Structure 1
Amino acid sequence: MHDRVRDPAVATACAVVVFALAVAERAPASLLVLAVMSVVTAAPLLLRRRMPLTVAVLTAELMLVVLWFPRWSGGLAAVVAFGSAAYHSPHIGRVFAVSAFCFVAPGLVGARSGSSVSAPSIVGFGTTPFTQALLIGIAPVAMGYALRLHHERAAQLVRLQQVEGQRAIADQRTRIAREVHDAVGHHLTAIQMQASAARHVLREVPPVADRALHTIEGSATSALRDVRTILALLPADGTMLIHAEALAARLATPSCDISVSVEGSLSGLPPAVDHGAYRLLQEALTNAVRHSGATHISVTIRRTPQTVTTTVEDNGPSTAFSAEGQGIRGMHERAQQLGGSVSIASRQPHGWQVEAVLPVSGITP
């Protein structure tokens, strides 16, 4: 449901429920008065997304104004408003503080004084002042915050699945590129070499044959160059190491931020090293976000004339990596294929560090 439809629907549903409860509890007022009071109490919910905390305070004040009215369940609008504020507001501490100020404190005062006037029925079910204060002041905020955490977790899982899907596609492209290069490139190289050798050995061949051999040699050279150019572009579709910040932005969540630091220039890296370093960083970062339970992850990419190093550090518990899974073994194998290494170690006082070092020198771009 679109937000433009959802907010009016929530406000309307709240007004209908409050009105129905008032009628069912036989509130001492005409139906017109009850309908107007229900609409006025639920109307601020129309702005619950744009001004979540303001709407919560407004509904609470409206509810307190009509608390004197017997058998009135207008407090349900405040329940919805504070739950929505906890879900949409980035300042959950403020929401709890305002809720306590508006409801918990008055409810506790009423409970201590034993006066039903100072703390009348908030939701209309005749509960004690302390129970009402707990219900209105804490439960909606806690439920809204729990739903928000659940939503963030679900969104994080979706982003992880997208990243893993992109990684699987890129790995498949890399395998295809390697196989095509090994198969087609080998045969084109053989054709080129044989044609060139034939031209040099058979010095007294007819001009037509010499031209044919020259054409074969030139076509093979051109085709081999085109194949290498295309295959060099294929695995680099959005997987270059310079996109590390974009990768971190996709994986970061409100409960786990990711910072990226780059030391040295990443330009001019050999394609194999560039692609391999990105894949190692992607695997380490995905593992940290999914398994470490950290609130902060730092990524450092360091380029020297001899090596490129990617380091992922988190502040989660030091018991996250209990066993080496397929992903970690794959990281070791990928690094070894490029002549590098991967080290995984616990940090003090807590957290983990995953560092991949790949050599730059000695690899042809």
Structure 2
Amino acid sequence: MLVLMRCLLAFTALALLWLEEVDPGEFTRVTYGSLTLYCLHSAVVALVSYQSGWPAPSRALHWIDIVFFTSLVSLTEGANSLFFYFFFYPILIASLAWGFREGIAVTTASIVLFFALGLYFAPDKELFALHRTLARVAYLFAFGYLIASLGGYEIKLKRRLRLLKDVNDVADARFGFDEVVGRNLDRLLDFYAADSSLLVLKHPGDPPRFVLYQASRRKPGQGSIANAITESAARALLALPETIGASYRGRWASWLPRIRRHVAIDLARQVKSQAFLSESEALANLLDARALLTVPYARPGSTRGRLFVASARHGFPPIEIEFLAQVLDAMAAVLENIVLTEQHFGKAASDERAAIARDLHDTTIQPYIGLKLALEALQREAGEREPISRRIGELVEMAGMTVQDLRKYTRQIRERTQMPGEALAAAVQMHSERLTRFYGIVVDVACDVSAQIDGQLATEAFQMVSEGISNVLRHTAAKSAFVVLREEPSTLLIQIGNAAPEPSDAAPTFMPRSIHERSLALGGTTAVGRRADGYTLVEVRLPLK
């Protein structure tokens, strides 16, 4: 709505000239013409703003206002012009829309232009009143500075509220503890225009576990990675007492005097002091920063730690200590809720897994054991010399292996154990050899996967390979197949293929449902196609964790 004030000022100036309340000077036509154009400009800007829903004014508009008001002052009595007061409008717009720096810049430009051009275009140099001009310059500076300060403070408060809102956003909780920490560290980087932000946590235990999260402008996207650190490194970062927040700024050049600015606040007692200067300086050197802002992370009976915001370009005012403590309190509350929620769902999932394991034992393993005993009895009844006895023996062995696999799977469900990454290749190879032995299908395995692959990903990959080869046995007459496991920069590639019984150019129309659902659950993709050599190919790509 402030754009309407521009129209009011423009038409008011035109009315004052028309009523001859202000001397238009020697260039009457130029004065009336420029003022008319400015009125049209103001009206068009107001109309466009109305149609756009009154957006924030463009930065160029208040500079255009400065140019016009300067020309208006120059054409109408110079430094004595009544239109001097119009300069406060662009100062107000710049300060409210763009903050303190823009407001001060517009104030400075207004002062310089008013004094220089007002003096130059004064109609009668003898009537030029230095004391009045200097008084107006002083008014312009004083009120311009106040307006810029208030505008900058309002924008600062809005940014603070926006940051607190983002930190308290419950939608972030679904991403997990580490991801929420990383997102908030990135937000602090942007809010303070800092170079790095760090969170050091000391998780309770015997011995305690120390974790470091670090977001840096030089390495974006790394804030959500939990890095384990040694106790000695953690003690160096946690040197300040648990209730102390501090703001430190060292000297900015080696040739400057050893001038430092340091404030420490006991957040529990709200007492400021100059204590802990040596600890703050040591922390700044450790983090390779000239300026440092730090507050403690503490939850009753829970994790302890400390948050750091560091910069090599600018300092942090001491008032930011208390605000950063508020941000960290909000962040800690969200993280605590995430931990409690994960514990709740973990307990519920554990109970559900135990129930599923009992059901598997009662409804699946026991019948298989019964089948195995019946086959052993049948083998004994047939006698060792009968040809069919050997085939029955193979069935007994298959039943025994299946019982072992089911018991292993049941134990994994109950205890939530996962396959080690280094065991994936051996497990796939062993499973392929078993299929070759019992079913006569030749499976060629090519595995290029590092031992550091995530356990959950390895377990899911093995289940997909098992399901894929089982599909070959159940739904095709192929006697050869292949499995490819290859670790790529950001994905795990799984390819399962079999020779088509009848070579065809038509693309396969099926989609293995179980494999596809597992892939989607892990954020991956599944595709089915046919290679040029006649092999039907199922290709799965899973993101590496």
Question: Which bin holds the TM-score, normalised by the shorter protein?
Answer: 0.3 to 0.5
Q: Which has the larger radius of gyration?
A: 2
- TM-score, with normalisation over the residues of structure 1? 0.45
Give the helix-richer structure, 1 or 2.
1
Give the strand-richer structure, 1 or 2.
2
